Amino acid sequence: HPMKAAKVVFVLGGPGSGKGTQCALIVEHFGFTHLSAGDLLRAEIKSGSQNGAMIQSMIKEGKIVPSEVTVKLLQKAMLSSDNDKFLIDGFPRNEENRSAFELITGIRPEFILFFECSEKEMEKRVLGRNEGRIDDNIETIKKRFKVFIDSGLPVLKHYDSLGKLRKINGDRMKEEVFESVRPLFTAFAK
Ligand code: UP5
Ligand code: MG
């Protein structure tokens, strides 16, 4: 386990809850490296990889890509970085993701940052984003909400039972949300 010394924070929340937006602010203020599992998977599709077609169809359906694919991408990104502080955004999405990551990397997260946001607000944000994502349409969004409830909530429950869950009200303006996030990271300031 060559990465065992790395400091990892998992950043979780429903689709459009503001994970990517808040990660950018944490990077800027606290020098973490941001690894969005979704971005890594989308880059893998673009790269013309063997798995590209499979990943694309899973994302289009709002389904969770097999752990071995995602964990490998995260591991590769961590090993090729010279930083030792990582925000892992949008992963783990189910209990199987969680146990595969722990087993393969030996890493236990410092804590879990969880953005709580209403479906009404998340839907508005995702539909308003306009970045051409194949999953940003109302049918796929409904599926993403359901997968988040069915598969994502058990992960949050697990970390809550370990005292590692940090719940943030994500329903506010991004600057206000960040003021709640900031104190959680002051211990990691450079
Ligand atoms: N915005 C952000 N904050 C705002 C605020 N406070 N007020 C008003 N607007 C705000 O934000 C979304 C939009 O809202 C943006 O336009 C932003 O400006 C605005 P963003 O920060 O992008 O939210 P985020 O939570 O990152 O939303 P995202 O859509 O990326 O979340 P998902 O979890 O749905 O997407 P992700 O890329 O993580 O995963 C996509 C798919 O990949 C999954 O559905 C799944 O199929 C697959 N996947 C896996 O299979 N495994 C993985 O491990 C990861 C992904
Ligand atoms: Mg995102």
Would you call 74 exposed, middle or buried from its count of C-beta atoms within 10 A (0-12, 13-18, 19+)? buried
Whether ipTM > 0.90 holds is: yes
Which residues share a beta bridge with 34? Answer: 87
> At 95, is the pLDDT very low, low, confident or very high (cuts 50, 70, 90)?
very high
Which residue has a Cα nearest atom 53 of ligand 1? 91
Q: What digits encode the pLDDT tens for the residues 98-113?
A: 999 999 999 999 999 9
What pTM was estimated for this model as a whole? 0.98
Token pair belonging to 134: 């194949």
Give the model's pLDDT for residue 2: 67
| Residue 115 assigned as binding residue | no
Give the model's pLDDT for residue 102: 97
Q: Which of 8, 17, 21, 174 is the pocket-test mutation for ligand 1 (most atoms within 8 Å of CB)?
A: 21
Give the model's pLDDT for residue 190: 63
Ligand 2 being an ion, which residues bring their Cβ within 5 A of it? 19-20
Give the integer Cα–Cα distance in Å for 74 and 88: 8
Within the chain, where are the H helices?
Answer: 19-30, 37-46, 52-60, 67-79, 95-105, 119-129, 138-147, 153-161, 174-185
- Ligand nearest to C-alpha 144: 1
Determine the atom of ligand 1 nearest the C-alpha atom of 125: 14
| Residue 90 assigned as binding residue | yes
Predicted confidence (pLDDT) at residue 183 exceeds the cutoff of 90: yes
